[in-house]
Amino acid sequence: MPDANLNQIEPFLLGALEQQEEQQLLAHLAAGCTDCNKAIAATARVMHALPWALLSPADSPVELVAPPAALKQRLLNSIKEDKTSEEGSPQVWKSWAENAAPLAGLLTVHAHEGTWENIGISDIKVKRLFVDQAHDSVTMLVRMPPGAAYPSHRHSGTEQCYVLEGDLHVGDLVFHAGDYQCSDSNSIHGVQHTKAGCLLLIVSSLHDEILAA
């Protein structure tokens, strides 16, 4: 089955094909392509079950059958990925490129430089200071607004946290400006939250694992 036909199935069911493309695909289906008819039936069944479906069972050019379990999950994952892309990634630093070679061996980031990025959780923002991919390390500022919380996570390397402003609650511990905590590799942090908001200096692995939302 040509890839072009596969790529046209979802746009066809959403009514997004040009008239000529739609006629060509319908002719292809009418010619009896088994793979295409199976694919369109499976996709139509899933789309019909979703809130944004445009297709009813009566409209399908073939008899609708139960789709493979993986197909619905693929479509739902696609929607979830689009949403995450719009809101930001909880670990956006994983996509940060390594810093360019510093001039004369010195890297300077002034307060007005750099970009604050929203991670999509509780309006928490992060600012890159230094990325060392060879040593799996990132240095960044983390700003948490009042009431914000960051989910439980496992450390893939040593994490150092220094509180610059505000309050940070980690389990039964409460940290304030000037307080510091170092977490070993493979240790787990529960949900961390702040009441009044805080600004943190974090040095951590690029590959920490989120355990709970």
CATH number at residue 173: 2.60.120.10
pLDDT in tens, 187-201: 999 999 999 999 999
Residue 57 in tokens: 């069972």
Question: Which is higher by pLDDT, 15 or 88?
Answer: 15
Give the pLDDT band (50/70/90) at residue 25. confident
pLDDT in tens, 117-170: 999 889 999 999 999 888 989 999 999 999 999 999 999 999 999 999 999 999
Whether residue 200 sits in one domain with residue 174: yes
Whether residue 119 sits in one domain with residue 67: no
Whether residue 73 sits in one domain with residue 165: no
Is residue 190 within 8 A of residue 151, CB to CB? The reply is no
Residues in the chain: 213
Whether residue 131 sits in one domain with residue 73: no
Whether residue 153 sits in one domain with residue 197: yes
Whether residue 141 sits in one domain with residue 59: no
Whether residue 103 sits in one domain with residue 201: yes
User: Does the pLDDT at position 37 exceed 60?
Assistant: yes
Whether residue 27 sits in one domain with residue 128: no
Whether residue 186 sits in one domain with residue 109: yes
Whether residue 101 sits in one domain with residue 78: no
Query: pTM of the predicted model, to two decimals?
Result: 0.56
Please tell me the distance from the alpha carbon of residue 130 to that of residue 17, in angstroms, as a whole number: 46
Structural domain range at position 200: 92-210
String of DSSP letters for the chain: --HHHHHHHHHHHTT-S-HHHHHHHHHHHHTT-HHHHHHHHHHHHHHHHSTT----GGG-SS---PPPHHHHHHHHHHHHHHHHHHH--TTGGGGPPPPPPPBTTB----TT-S-EEE-SSTT-EEEEEEEEGGGTEEEEEEEE-TT-EE--EE-SS-EEEEEEEEEEEETTEEEETT-EEEE-TT-EE--EE-SS-EEEEEEE-TT-EE---
- The count of structural domains within the chain is 2
Give the pLDDT confidence score for residue 109 in this predicted structure: 85
Whether residue 103 sits in one domain with residue 70: no
Q: Among 42, 1, 48, 46, which Cα is nearest to 25's?
A: 1
Q: Final residue of a domain: which of 36, 58, 87?
A: 87
Q: Final residue of a domain: which of 43, 68, 87?
A: 87
Q: Final residue of a domain: which of 57, 87, 117?
A: 87
CA distances, 79 to each of 10, 68, 72, 73, 83 (Å): 14, 18, 11, 10, 6
Is residue 212 within 8 A of residue 191, CB to CB? The reply is yes
> Residue 124, class by beta-carbon neighbours within 10 Å (0-12 exposed, 13-18 middle, 19+ buried)?
buried
